[in-house]
Structure 1
């Protein structure tokens, strides 16, 4: 970053971003993604990866704990487990 940046003139988005993650990181994001529109997912974790983790961590009793831990509904966790059982039964 060789040019002098006048921080007080920053676009509101970049000013907030700089406040959150520091100016140099905000500038890197600007340089890499400027002009593009992104929608950030509501969830931090990838649902497919979470489903695989739930299947490996499920002990027969901890579905509600896993739902809370990963921020998914109990219904979703039970559906993941049901599909896994169906897949296993299909293979036998």
Structure 2
């Protein structure tokens, strides 16, 4: 009977296998060492909402259209209008 080796990612937890396929084996090992034992939630959007809203307002003031801003930021035109209607924080 051959012993199973632990060298390959096929022996890792499924979440680490998926991560390794996306960012690579070495990056996954670093993330495991740094974040291991933590619960991490990745927001769907990369940008901070307040900072993105500031960028949207700035682009609008510089002549950007609601439709273009909606497309560029992956929002609906209605959401862009809501962002523009809120006072700056």
Which TM bucket (shorter chain)? 0.7 to 0.9
Q: How many pairs are equivalent?
A: 81
SS in 1 for 2:86: helix
Runs of 4+, deviation exceeding 6 Å = none
Is 2:15 aligned against 1:34?
A: no
Is 2:71 aligned against 1:68?
A: yes
Which whole-Å CA distance do the structure 1 matches of 2:24 and 2:51 have between them? Answer: 30
Greater fraction of residues in helix: 1
Which whole-Å CA distance do the structure 2 matches of 1:56 and 1:10 have between them? Answer: 46
Question: 1:6 matched to which residue of 2?
Answer: 7
Which whole-Å CA distance do the structure 2 matches of 1:11 and 1:33 have between them? Answer: 14
Render the CA deviation track for 1:36-75: whole Å, top value 9, x for unaligned. Answer: 1111111122111111011111145611110111112212
Q: What is the TM-score with the length of structure 2 in the denominator? A: 0.78
Question: 2:47 matched to which residue of 1?
Answer: 45
Ranges in structure 1 where 5+ consecutive residues have no aligned partner: 88-92
Ranges in structure 2 where 5+ consecutive residues have no aligned partner: 1-5
